[in-house]
Structure 1
Amino acid sequence: MNAELTGETRTAVVTGAGSGIGRAVAVELLRAGWSVALAGRRVETLEETAALAPDGTSTPLGTSLCVRTDVSEPQDVAALFSSVRENFGRLDLLFNNAGTFGPGGVPVEELPYAAWRHVVDTNLNGAFLCAQAAFRQMKEQDPQGGRIINNGSISAQVPRPHSIAYTTTKHALTGLTKSLSLDGRPYRIACGQIDIGNAATDMTERMRSGILQANGELMPEPVMDVSDVARTVRHMAELPLEANVQFATVLATNMPFIGRG
């Protein structure tokens, strides 16, 4: 039996919660009554996220917990989930969202190894470390189980030009999602993935002015409200553990995704 069926407050970890999609999802969950551990590299931006939650909600807010975390550092991840256990007692959801695009517009033959390694350490190794820690806690807690949602990006399906590090890590996240789904079955741990295209955040601001297309042209691309992404994640999160959205794609309707390349 999961937390919402027992009347307990549902608890979540959101990584990359200091901005963009992570911020929108954390605020959405807090306004829906979830208690949320906000993880990110800068405590001040996490606190800004937490301060956004009270605006315009009629539901009792969940508790926020801001934890400075570099997901690529195993000791930081261990400290994050230890703090969640101490403050909340259990974990119902991990939104595995922290990520970086890396240097934009760099051809593969010019990409420094250090830049490649930074993207891999954050997007893939960080996602694994957080998923492993969440899986361990969800397996051991009583009632057993929980849910992991990975942010795959539509780059988990198709690449943009000059994005080899980001695209490779996002394709790898799909394998992580599938493996977690399989390995979690005996323990009531569900895992799904949301692939997001052109949500309006600081990271996608350049979409409005023009971004390189597969044909070599620069073209502005439409964006969607990031709150639409947050509501989708919340829908996935609030399903009973007997149901799972395995993969969801949420994108700006007119962006060049179908037919990209």
Structure 2
Amino acid sequence: MGASGTGKIALITGAGSGIGRAVALALHGEGYSLFLVGRRLEKLDETAAIAAQTGKADIACFAADVSDPEQVVVAFEACRSRFGRLDLLFNNAGTGAPPVPFEELTYAQWRAVVDVNLTGTFLCIQQAFRLMKEQVPRGGRIINNGSISAEAPRPFSSPYTATKHGVTGLTKSASLDGRAYDIAVGQIDIGNAATEMTERMAKGILQPDGSVRAEPVMDVKEAARAVAYMASLPLDANVLFMTVMATKMPFVGRG
């Protein structure tokens, strides 16, 4: 089944909630057909139902764990079978570990974050490359969801921070390796977008000095609009890195 609107196809991981859902809605509003990927099919169906209220492009949902290489391959094959091509991959699936002291973090907790945030991003980029190199017209765009935490870590966040540093490395390497094949790769670093995951920020979050303070947040729709802008560029133009954040959140300076 083909696309309507822009005629472009976007695959979004972690599309069942938060930033992934917001980006799906924004892109669908721009006429993208969507291939929504996540671990919980019922959450993907919710995203699809909301999107369908405001747009007419096709939407498909596919349950998969991005940390599993076989499931990633099957997901991208299903996308190709459904839509015939892929124009945009938004690598959004991510997770964190419990905020415990460094020495109390278990290997299993560390590994779970690495498998999703870093290995999952790699696996999806790899499959997108294979599809985008072969399709006609050739090429496409990949946008990775990084994090400003990679530059300014929160207390007790070593797995998340380390993996987001790794995502930045993947973005740079994939951007270089994709040049010859008309594949544009960029990254968005989002700070304090209001989602279910950031509800605690408004109530109070641990600061490096040991205090607990509320932090400003921004509407998640602003992050989604930023991704949609990156996606709107022709393939001969690219936003390599973008930071979009709540203006008054503690990031630059000393709080």
Aligned to 1:123: 117
- Inter-partner Cα distance in structure 1 for 2:6 and 2:199: 39
Give 2:57's match in structure 1, choosing from 52, 55, 62.
Answer: 62
Q: Which residue type is aligned with residue 172 of structure 2?
A: K
- Inter-partner Cα distance in structure 1 for 2:6 and 2:208: 49
- Inter-partner Cα distance in structure 2 for 1:257 and 1:168: 17
Aligned to 1:83: 78
Answer yes or no: is the 8 Å Cα contact 2:145–2:188 preserved in 1. Answer: yes
| RMSD after superposition | 1.4
Aligned to 1:73: 68
Aligned to 2:11: 13
Question: In the alignment, does 2:237 pair up with 1:243?
Answer: yes
Counterpart secondary structure, 1:205: helix
Counterpart secondary structure, 2:193: coil
Give 1:172's match in structure 2, choosing from 149, 166, 179.
Answer: 166
Change (3 A) 1:206 1:81: same
By how many angstroms is 1:260 displaced?
A: 4.7
- Could you tell me the percent identity over the aligned residues? 64
| Structure 1 residues 5-38: Cα deviation after superposition (integer angstroms, max 9, x where no partner) | xx86100100000000000001111121101100
Question: In the alignment, does 2:151 pair up with 1:153?
Answer: no
- Inter-partner Cα distance in structure 1 for 2:114 and 2:6: 37
- Inter-partner Cα distance in structure 2 for 1:98 and 1:260: 30
- Inter-partner Cα distance in structure 2 for 1:87 and 1:72: 22
Q: Which residue type is aligned with residue 73 of structure 2?
A: A
- Equivalent positions of 1:245-260 (< 5 A) are 245-260=239-254
Answer yes or no: is the 8 Å Cα contact 1:15–1:96 preserved in 2. Answer: yes
Aligned to 2:133: 139
Answer yes or no: is the 8 Å Cα contact 1:156–1:195 preserved in 2. Answer: no
Unpaired runs of 5+ residues, structure 2, are: none
Give 2:46's match in structure 1, choosing from 45, 48, 51.
Answer: 48
- Inter-partner Cα distance in structure 2 for 1:102 and 1:202: 16
Aligned to 2:228: 234
Unpaired runs of 5+ residues, structure 1, are: none
- Inter-partner Cα distance in structure 1 for 2:30 and 2:160: 32
By how many angstroms is 1:153 displaced?
A: 1.2
| Structure 1 residues 74-114: Cα deviation after superposition (integer angstroms, max 9, x where no partner) | 111011100110010010000000000121x2111100000
Q: Which residue type is aligned with residue 79 of structure 2?
A: V
TM-score of the pair, normalised by structure 2: 0.96
- Inter-partner Cα distance in structure 1 for 2:220 and 2:77: 30
Question: In the alignment, does 2:93 pair up with 1:98?
Answer: yes
Q: Hey, which bits of structure 1, 4+ residues long, moved more than 4 A?
A: none
- Inter-partner Cα distance in structure 1 for 2:253 and 2:52: 41
Between Structure 1 and Structure 2, how many residues are aligned? Answer: 252
